[in-house]
Amino acid sequence: MKRVSIRPENAHQAHLLHLLRDIGPISRAELGDAIHLSRSKLAVELERLTDIGLVESGGLAASRGGRRSGIVRLASSLRFVGVDIGATSVDVAVTDPELRVLAHRSEGIDVRQGPDAVLAVTLDLVAKLRADGHAPEIHGAGVGVPGPVSFREGVPVAPPIMPGWDQFPVRSVLSQHLGAPVLVDNDVNIMALGEMHAGLSRSVKDFLFVKIGTGVGCGIVVDGSVYRGVSGSAGDIGHIRIEDDGPVCACGNTGCLESFFSGAALARDALEAARSGRSFALADRLAQVGSLSAADVSGAAGEGDPVAVEMIRDGGQRLGFLLAGLVSFFNPGMVVIGGGVAAGLGHLLLAEVRSVVYRRSLPLATGNLPIVLSEMGAAAGVVGAARMISDSVFSVSDGS
Ligand SMILES: [Zn+2]
């Protein structure tokens, strides 16, 4: 496959590309105001970017008095692919250069089937999107996986829920098949990037993104970049021990946050409440479907089942206690709570988390702190993955 690799040649060009991605088409005059380059220097860099094929002209802007300024924008043929591999599904989207989703496909998988099977499904989804004409060329792909990743090598590292993926070269295999640069990170970090690009934390440069799915994780965004830590495990808050005695966690320890509150923990507690007869609502649901998930807990809570409501309140309190510490330590500009389970638990969860964090954190840290539910849903992962690779493609060099 033809390899597409075009990159800016210097830091000014890289800055221009990032600006055009984040603010969209803009007149040369306004661009000049935003980037502090002389008119002549700006003209030179834009001409170079046009020659390379990264920027194009978009007609004339409305007059600001005097001669009308030309509009510039990223080349409309640029395409990024965002891939979000979850425990039970893979989502693939094609975006335009400003990272708007042009087309999106999803398919059920079991990540435990291993990398060969799951990446084959992923490549098949990309091929279908291309067959539909959405990406004649691919300029880069970002990939999120549900486990720890060595970002530099693009390989999962001892991922607990992904048997067979340890050290598998996800990045180089996909890059070879797609003929384009690829970057791989864990799913929570790409969701945080998606929130930063198009979500509620769009204007916030320092924030925490808490994902509540089967497990619990936290993306840490510092000054507009994801903070990964020395070995890539920063933000793994699901395995912070919150009680010495507690349920055994998937990681083998006891008392982790995630063993008390997560999609998996809610499903376990719901089953217990149904079988012991403590909750008729949950017992009913179990009798109808034969199994219970976190969605049944939200459903039962919505019907007013006091046991389900209490489970969500208790989970929100435990998460809140932990977040209160993180907020005092990190002093974020916002906390965004997302992920499939959080969306279902909704405002009941949010109210509990807010009340604990506002009560227990330092007033200086919470005085101006919005704690909000994500509004992006499944788009956060794919948009964030596209953002990750576009950051790299629009940089002078990243070694990929
Ligand atoms: Zn654990």
Instruction: For the chain, give percent helix, strand, coil, nearest 5.
Output: 45, 20, 35
Please give the distance, rounded to the nearest whole angstrom, from the Cα atom of residue 258 to the centre of ligand 1.
6
pLDDT of residue 2: 44
pLDDT at 87: 87
Distances (CA, A) of 77 to 99, 129, 135: 12, 15, 8
Q: Is the confidence at residue 74, as pLDDT, over 70?
A: yes
Q: Tell me, in angstroms, the distance from the centre of ligand 1 to residue 259's CA.
A: 7
Alpha-helical runs (H) found in 235-303: 257-260, 263-275, 280-289, 294-302
Cα 237 to averaged position of ligand 1 atoms, centre (Å):
9
Span from the CA of 322 to the centroid of ligand 1 (angstroms): 14
Rounded to the nearest angstrom, the distance between the alpha carbon of 24 and the centre of ligand 1 is 42
Compute, in angstroms, the gap from residue 251 CA to the centroid of ligand 1: 4
241 C-alpha to center of ligand 1: Å?
Answer: 7
CA of 293 to the centre of ligand 1 (A): 20
Calculate how far, in angstroms, residue 239's C-alpha sits from the geometric centre of ligand 1.
4
33 alpha carbon – ligand 1 mean position (Å): 50
Question: How many other CB atoms sit within 10 Å of the CB of residue 246?
Answer: 15
Residue 216 Cα to chain centre, angstroms: 13
376: pLDDT strictly greater than 80: yes
Quick check: 385 pLDDT over 60? yes
pLDDT tens, residue by residue, 186-227:
999 999 999 999 999 998 999 999 999 988 999 999 999 999
Residues 6+ apart with CB under 8 A from 100: none
CA 386–ligand 1 middle distance (angstroms): 30
**What sign does the dihedral 121-126-129-133 (CA atoms) show?**
negative
Cα of 32 to ligand 1 centre, how many Å?
A: 51
Strand order in the sheet with 70-74: 26-27, 70-74, 55-60
- What's the first-to-final CA gap in the chain, in angstroms? 17
- Read off the pTM: 0.92
